Amino acid sequence: MSISERQKEERALRKERILSGALTVFKTKGLDGATMDEIAAESGFGKATLYYYFPSKEDVFCGILDRGWTQLWESLEEDIHSDTGPRETFINILIKIAKKAQQNRNEYEFMFNAPKAISNIDDSDQDWKSYQHQLYAILKGLLDDGISQGQFPKLDSDLMFKAIGGLFVGLIFMGEKNKDITGGDIEKLLNQLITDPNQP
């Protein structure tokens, strides 16, 4: 008579609920401004209950990142393993991330910005970090291949990666306005700004 499947699911659902509440509070109050009391109130539990599901505030925090990066990674796998050329794959992935980021802006803003604001004892033994690194490695690889195949301007790929990464983050997250950027906009921008030397 161990825990039933349904019990597991409900527990997971409650965890989700807490993570959502936490995200809301983090968004409005910032990482340190958010208190466990507020998160508890927002998610509809007593504070002590939070600690029944998560051992610490930091674990709530990492829970959000884990969920986000895992989901993102999974949703990208088909694109990653497609057999289109590096340039197309690269751009497809960026567009897909952009779309997901627009649908869940708070979550993605958190995923992309929050980690910088930590200096804790997380010697990269966090799940989300491995997903993040894998994704970055894939993108870097596509960029390298694309450059060597002449599909991108011939530039140092590290530099290019930084530039595109920054460009991308700026595009999605900069500015208060929520005038939605369409997938088309992003595609156009990427194609305009990252010129393909083969297409004159």
Instruction: Give the span between the Cα atoms of 148 and 122, in whole angstroms.
Output: 36
Q: Looking at beta carbons only, is 72 or 147 nearer to its own copies?
A: 147
Interface with its own copies: number of residues (CB under 8 A): 39
Contact status, residue 106 vs residue 114, Cβ threshold 8 Å: no
How far apart are CB 24 and DNA at their closest, in Å?
15
- 85/89 Cα distance (integer angstroms): 6
Find where tokens 């958010």 sit.
34
Asked if 6 interacts with its own copies (CB under 8 A), we say no
| 163 forms part of the interface with its own copies (CB under 8 A) | yes
Q: 56-95 mask for DNA (x: CB under 7 A)?
A: xxx-------------------------------------
Given candidates 44, 46, 150, 153, which one binds its own copies under the rule CB under 8 A? 153
Question: Could you give the C-alpha distances from 41 to 34, 97, 191, in angstroms and in order?
Answer: 12, 31, 46
- Using CB under 8 A as the criterion, what x/- string covers residues 102-131 for binding its own copies? -----------x--xxxx------------
Q: Which two tokens stand for residue 104?
A: 């869940």
- 64: tokens are 């959000």
Question: Among DNA, its own copies, none, what does residue 199 contact (CB within 5–8 Å per kind)?
Answer: none
Q: What percent helix, strand, coil does the chain show, rounded to 5?
A: 70, 0, 30
Residue from 16, 37, 127, 156 binding DNA (CB under 7 A): 37
Which of its own copies, DNA, none is residue 150 near (CB under 5 to 8 Å by kind)?
none
CA distance 15 to 159: 40
